[in-house]
C-alpha cells in the first residue's frame, strides 16, 4: 500500500538519508528506530512531503541546499512530487515531532482544526472515538493547548491527526519526554487505533522498549541508513539491537 | 534552473583559497592576502573615491551624502535587529533627535559643525536611549510599534507646543565649510561604523548581544543583565542614527519636523533586506542601490513609489537572502555536479 524506494536526502553536502527503502502494508504498524541524528525525523518529513516545503524555504532564504531523491508510492501512485497538502488529502497524515499543538486554541478547537478534511459525519464519529480512547481529554476540552501537560499534548496531537481521517498515520517520536507509564499507555492506544480503525501506522522512536512489542515490522536507522530490518520478533532477537535498545 | 538529472546533484564546496585564508596562514602568500583584501579594499577605496569620480555631477555628489546618511541608519537597524534582536522602526526618531540637537547647538551656542556633529551624536544617542529605556523589556513587534510611535509623537509635540521653531523648524543652521568636508565626514563615518561594528560583534560583547537575540532567558540564567546590554545596543545604534541626523541638518542648513518623517525608518529596512540582513556591509550596499534608484525614479513622478515597491517586492520574492549573502557565497564557494 505504501512504499518508499531508495530515499536519499542531502542537507547541503551532508547525507541525512542514505538509500532508505521501506514498505508498509495495510493495517500494519511499522517502527523506525534510531538514535538522535539517525535520520528519523528527516525520513518522516520526506514521507509526509514537508521536506520539499523546507527545501523551498531554504532555497528562498539562500540557506542549505536540500536534495531529495527516491520514490514514494502510495496506493499504486507515485506521489514523490506531491505537495504536503495533497499528500494529506490522499490520506497521509503526519503527527509531528514535539507535538506542535496550537497553543492558543482549546483542546476542542485543536481537534476541530484537524478535522478540516473530514465531512461532518466523519467528524462527529471520529471525535467520539478520540475522546473515548484518550478519555483524559474530555475533562480538559475547554483548556488552551499551551497549558496541557506533555502527555495530554501528545494525546491531543494524535487525536488531531486522527481527525484528518488518515489512511496512513505517521507518528514522529510520540513518546518524546514522557514518563514510562504514559509511554506504555500511548503505545497501547497506538495499537488500538490500528486494530479498531484499520489505519496503517509508521512510528519513529528512540525508545524501542514500549513500541517494539506493538509493531509488525521494524527498521533500525543508523547515520541515515537502514542497517537492520525485520519483524518485531527478529529485531528483539537480534543481539546488536538487544544491546543497543534493550540494554541487555 | 534546468531540471537536474536523476542521479546527479549539485554540490557546494568551499574554495581552496577560502579554506587556506581562514587560518593564520593567510599571510603566507600574496594571492591569499589579495583574496582577503580585494573585496574590502574595493569597498573602502570605492567609497573614498566616489566624490572625486562624481566631480562632474554635483547633484549626484549630494545624492552620495544622502546615501551615506541612509547607510548609517541602515547599519544601525541591521545591528539592532540582527545582532541584538530588537526590531526598531525608530530611524526617524534618531534622525530627528540628532538633527534638532545639532541645529540647536549650532544656532544657540554658535558651535561649528565639526563640534556639533560629534556632540549631538553622543548626546542624541543618550537621549534616544533614555526615551527607549522603558520599552526595552518588549520584544519583536511590540518594540517595533513603540519605536515607531516616538518619531510621530515627537513631531506632533513640536508642532503643538511650538517649541524649537514649531512647524518652521530651526533655520539658519551653518552648513559644512565645503562639499568635500560634508562628503568625507559622512563616508568616513560609514566606513568606521561598518568596520568597528563588524569587529565588535565578533568580540565577547557581540557574543552576548547574539545570545540576547537568540534566547534571552538563557542569557539571564548566565547572570547577565540583559537590559544593560539591550540599552547599550540601542545606544550604539541610536548614535549612528543621530550622527546621520546631525549631518543632514547641516547639509540642509535647517532642522524641522520632516526629519521625523517615516522615510527614515522604512528605507533603511528596505536597504537591509535588499543588501542582506546580518552582514552590516550588506545594508550599506542596499542603500547604495536603493537611494540612487529612488532618485532616478523621480522621472516617473507619482508612479515613483509604485515602481519602487515593485523593485522591492521582486527582490524579496526572488533573492530574499540579499545581495551580500549571495555575493559572499559565490566568492567563497564553488559548485559542481556529482553523481549520487
Please indicate, yes or no, if residue B153 is contained in any of the structural domains.
yes
The 10s digit of each residue's pLDDT in B165-204 is: 888 888 888 888 888 999 999 999 999 999 999 999 999 9
A94: left (phi over 0), alpha (psi -120 to 50) or beta: beta
Distance from CA of A69 to the nearest CA of B (A): 7
**Which candidate, B232, A154, B117, A164, places its Cα nearest to that of B224?**
B232
| pLDDT for residue B15 is more than 80 | yes
| B218, B243, B261 - which closes a domain | B261
The 10s digit of each residue's pLDDT in B249-302 is: 999 998 888 888 888 888 898 899 889 888 899 999 999 998 998 888 888 877
Chain A residues whose beta carbon lies within 8 Å of the beta carbon of residue B277: none
Shared domain for B107 and B170, answered yes or no, is yes
Name A211's Cβ contacts closer than 8 Å, sequence gap at least 6.
A31, A33, A175, A187, A190, A203, A205
Mean pLDDT along residues A79-104: 92
Assigned C-alpha cell, B213: 537575540
When mean pLDDT is compared across A145-149, B241-245, B314-318, the lowest value belongs to B314-318
Shared domain for B45 and B102, answered yes or no, is no
Beta bridge pairs of residue A7? A20
Please indicate, yes or no, if residue B274 is contained in any of the structural domains.
no
Please indicate, yes or no, if residue B315 is contained in any of the structural domains.
no
Assigned C-alpha cell, B33: 592576502
pLDDT averaged over every residue in chain A: 91
Q: To 5 degrees, how large is the angle CA B190–CA B194–CA B198?
A: 170
- Answer for the pair A88, A23: CB distance below 8 angstroms, yes or no: no
Please indicate, yes or no, if residue B329 is contained in any of the structural domains.
no
Q: How many domains does chain A have?
A: 1
What are the φ/ψ torsions at residue A29 (nearest 5 degrees)?
Answer: -115, 120
Q: Choose from B7, B8, B9 for mutation: most chain A CBs within 10 A.
A: B9
Chain A residues whose beta carbon lies within 8 Å of the beta carbon of residue B340: 8, 69
The 10s digit of each residue's pLDDT in A212-244 is: 999 999 999 999 999 999 998 999 888 888 888
Measure the CA–CA gap between B76 and B82, rounded to whole angstroms.
10
Measure the CA–CA gap between B192 and B189, rounded to whole angstroms.
5
Shared domain for B255 and B125, answered yes or no, is yes
When mean pLDDT is compared across A83-87, A192-196, B29-33, B219-223, the lowest value belongs to B29-33
Residue B138: pLDDT band (50, 70, 90) is: confident
Chain A residues whose beta carbon lies within 8 Å of the beta carbon of residue B322: 62
pLDDT at B76: 95
Shared domain for B240 and B201, answered yes or no, is yes
Please indicate, yes or no, if residue B199 is contained in any of the structural domains.
yes
**Which candidate, B206, B147, B210, B186, places its Cα nearest to that of B284?**
B186
Report CB contact under 8 Å: A62, B11. no
CATH code, domain with A63: 3.40.50.300
pLDDT at B5: 56
Measure the CA–CA gap between B114 and B327, rounded to whole angstroms.
37
- Answer for the pair B117, B207: CB distance below 8 angstroms, yes or no: no
Shared domain for B77 and B196, answered yes or no, is yes
pLDDT at B32: 84
- Answer for the pair B47, B193: CB distance below 8 angstroms, yes or no: no
Please indicate, yes or no, if residue B324 is contained in any of the structural domains.
no
Report CB contact under 8 Å: B321, A62. yes
Shared domain for B29 and B136, answered yes or no, is no
Q: At CB < 8 Å, which residues of chain B contact A?
A: 6-7, 9-13, 319-322, 325-326, 329, 340
Instruction: Tell me which residue range forms the domain holding B125.
Output: 58-261
Measure the CA–CA gap between A213 and B37, rounded to whole angstroms.
63
| Inter-CA distances, A176 with A20, A43, A156, A204, Å | 23, 17, 14, 10
The 10s digit of each residue's pLDDT in A166-217 is: 999 999 999 988 999 999 999 999 999 999 999 999 999 998 889 999 999 9
Report CB contact under 8 Å: A69, B326. no
Please indicate, yes or no, if residue A236 is contained in any of the structural domains.
no
Mean pLDDT along residues B17-33: 78
| Inter-CA distances, B322 with A53, A109, A184, B286, B325, Å | 21, 39, 49, 9, 6
pLDDT at A248: 60
Measure the CA–CA gap between B146 and A140, rounded to whole angstroms.
37
| B227, B261, B295 - which closes a domain | B261
Give me the residue label for grid cell 491527526.
A161
Assigned C-alpha cell, B292: 540612487
Q: How many domains does chain B have?
A: 2
| pLDDT for residue B315 is more than 50 | yes
Please indicate, yes or no, if residue B110 is contained in any of the structural domains.
yes
Shared domain for B93 and B198, answered yes or no, is yes
pTM of the model: 0.85
- Answer for the pair B122, B141: CB distance below 8 angstroms, yes or no: no
Q: To 5 degrees, how large is the angle CA B126–CA B130–CA B134?
A: 155
What are the φ/ψ torsions at residue B212 (nearest 5 degrees)?
Answer: -60, -35
Closest residue in chain B to residue A70, using alpha carbons only? B6
Instruction: Tell me which residue range forms the domain holding A191.
Output: 2-226
| B261, B280, B306 - which closes a domain | B261
Shared domain for B66 and B20, answered yes or no, is no
| Inter-CA distances, B259 with A172, B239, B293, Å | 54, 16, 21
Report CB contact under 8 Å: B12, A13. yes
Distance from CA of A230 to the nearest CA of B (A): 27
The DSSP secondary-structure symbol of A146 reads G
Residue B325: pLDDT band (50, 70, 90) is: confident
pLDDT at B1: 39
Shared domain for B48 and B63, answered yes or no, is no
Please indicate, yes or no, if residue A100 is contained in any of the structural domains.
yes
Chain B residues whose beta carbon lies within 8 Å of the beta carbon of residue A67: 9-10
Measure the CA–CA gap between B291 and B71, rounded to whole angstroms.
9
Q: Is B162 exposed, middle or buried (0-12, 13-18, 19+ CB in 10 A)?
A: exposed
CB atoms within 10 A of CB A125: 13
Shared domain for B45 and B142, answered yes or no, is no
Please indicate, yes or no, if residue A219 is contained in any of the structural domains.
yes
The DSSP secondary-structure symbol of B4 reads P
pLDDT averaged over every residue in chain B: 88
Residue B2: pLDDT band (50, 70, 90) is: very low
Measure the CA–CA gap between B201 and B281, rounded to whole angstroms.
13
Shared domain for B139 and B220, answered yes or no, is yes
Amino acid at each position: 500500500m505504501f512504499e518508499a524506494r531508495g530515499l536519499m536526502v542531502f542537507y547541503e553536502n551532508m547525507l541525512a538519508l542514505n538509500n532508505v527503502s521501506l514498505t508498509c502494508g495495510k493495517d500494519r504498524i511499522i517502527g523506525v528506530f534510531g538514535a538522535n541524528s539517525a535520520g528519523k525525523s528527516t525520513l518522516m518529513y520526506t514521507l509526509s512531503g514537508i521536506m520539499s516545503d523546507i527545501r523551498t524555504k531554504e532555497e528562498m532564504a539562500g540557506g542549505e541546499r536540500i536534495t531529495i531523491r527516491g520514490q514514494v508510492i502510495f496506493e499504486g501512485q507515485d506521489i514523490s512530487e506531491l505537495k504536503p497538502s495533497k499528500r494529506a488529502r490522499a490520506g497521509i497524515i503526519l503527527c509531528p515531532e514535539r507535538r506542535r499543538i496550537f497553543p492558543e486554541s482549546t483542546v476542542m478547537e485543536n481537534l476541530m482544526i484537524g478535522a478540516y478534511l473530514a465531512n461532518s459525519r466523519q467528524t462527529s464519529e471520529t471525535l467520539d472515538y478520540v475522546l473515548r480512547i484518550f478519555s483524559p481529554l474530555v475533562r480538559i476540552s475547554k483548556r488552551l493547548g499551551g497549558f496541557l501537560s506533555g502527555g495530554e499534548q501528545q494525546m491531543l496531537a494524535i487525536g488531531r491527526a486522527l481527525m484528518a481521517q488518515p489512511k496512513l498515520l505517521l507518528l514522529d517520536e510520540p513518546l518524546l519526554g514522557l514518563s514510562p507509564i504514559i509511554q506504555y499507555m500511548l503505545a497501547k492506544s497506538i495499537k488500538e487505533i490500528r486494530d479498531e480503525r484499520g489505519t496503517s501506522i509508521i512510528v519513529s522512536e528512540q525508545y524501542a522498549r514500549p513500541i517494539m512489542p506493538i509493531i509488525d515490522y521494524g527498521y533500525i536507522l543508523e547515520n541515515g541508513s537502514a542497517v537492520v530490518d525485520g519483524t518485531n520478533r527478529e529485531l528483539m532477537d537480534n543481539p546488536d539491537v538487544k544491546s543497543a535498545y534493550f540494554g541487555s | 534552473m534546468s531540471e537536474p538529472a536523476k542521479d546527479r546533484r549539485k554540490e557546494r564546496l568551499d574554495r581552496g583559497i577560502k579554506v587556506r585564508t581562514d587560518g593564520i596562514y593567510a599571510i603566507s602568500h600574496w594571492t591569499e592576502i589579495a583574496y582577503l583584501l580585494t573585496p574590502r579594499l574595493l569597498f573602502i577605496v570605492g567609497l573614498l573615491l566616489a566624490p572625486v569620480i562624481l566631480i562632474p555631477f554635483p547633484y549626484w555628489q549630494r545624492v552620495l551624502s544622502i546615501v551615506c546618511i541612509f547607510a548609517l541608519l541602515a547599519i544601525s537597524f541591521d545591528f539592532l535587529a540582527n545582532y541584538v534582536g530588537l526590531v526598531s522602526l525608530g530611524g526617524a526618531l534618531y534622525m530627528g533627535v540628532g538633527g534638532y540637537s545639532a541645529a540647536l547647538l549650532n544656532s544657540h551656542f554658535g558651535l561649528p559643525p565639526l563640534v556639533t556633529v560629534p556632540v549631538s551624536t553622543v548626546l542624541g544617542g543618550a537621549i534616544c536611549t533614555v526615551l527607549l529605556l522603558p520599552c526595552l523589556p518588549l520584544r519583536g513587534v511590540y518594540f517595533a510599534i513603540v519605536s515607531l510611535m516616538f518619531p510621530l509623537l515627537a513631531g506632533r509635540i513640536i508642532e503643538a507646543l511650538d517649541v524649537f521653531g514649531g512647524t518652521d523648524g530651526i533655520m539658519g543652521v551653518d552648513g559644512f565649510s565645503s562639499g568635500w568636508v560634508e562628503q568625507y565626514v559622512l563616508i568616513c563615518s560609514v566606513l568606521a561604523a561598518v568596520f568597528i561594528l563588524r569587529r565588535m560583534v565578533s568580540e565577547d560583547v557581540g557574543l552576548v548581544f547574539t545570545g540576547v537575540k537568540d534566547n534571552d532567558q538563557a542569557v539571564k540564567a548566565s547572570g547577565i543583565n540583559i537590559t544593560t546590554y539591550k540599552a547599550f545596543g540601542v545606544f550604539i545604534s541610536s548614535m549612528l542614527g543621530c550622527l546621520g541626523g546631525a549631518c543632514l541638518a547641516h547639509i540642509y542648513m535647517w532642522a524641522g519636523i520632516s526629519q521625523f518623517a517615516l522615510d527614515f525608518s522604512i528605507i533603511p529596512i528596505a536597504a537591509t533586506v535588499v543588501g542582506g540582513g546580518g552582514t552590516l556591509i550588506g545594508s550599506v550596499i542596499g542603500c547604495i542601490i536603493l537611494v540612487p534608484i529612488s532618485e532616478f525614479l523621480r522621472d516617473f513622478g507619482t508612479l515613483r513609489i509604485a515602481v519602487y515597491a515593485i523593485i522591492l517586492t521582486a527582490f524579496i520574492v526572488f533573492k530574499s537572502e540579499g545581495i551580500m549573502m549571495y555575493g559572499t557565497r559565490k566568492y567563497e564557494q564553488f559548485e559542481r555536479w556529482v553523481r549520487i
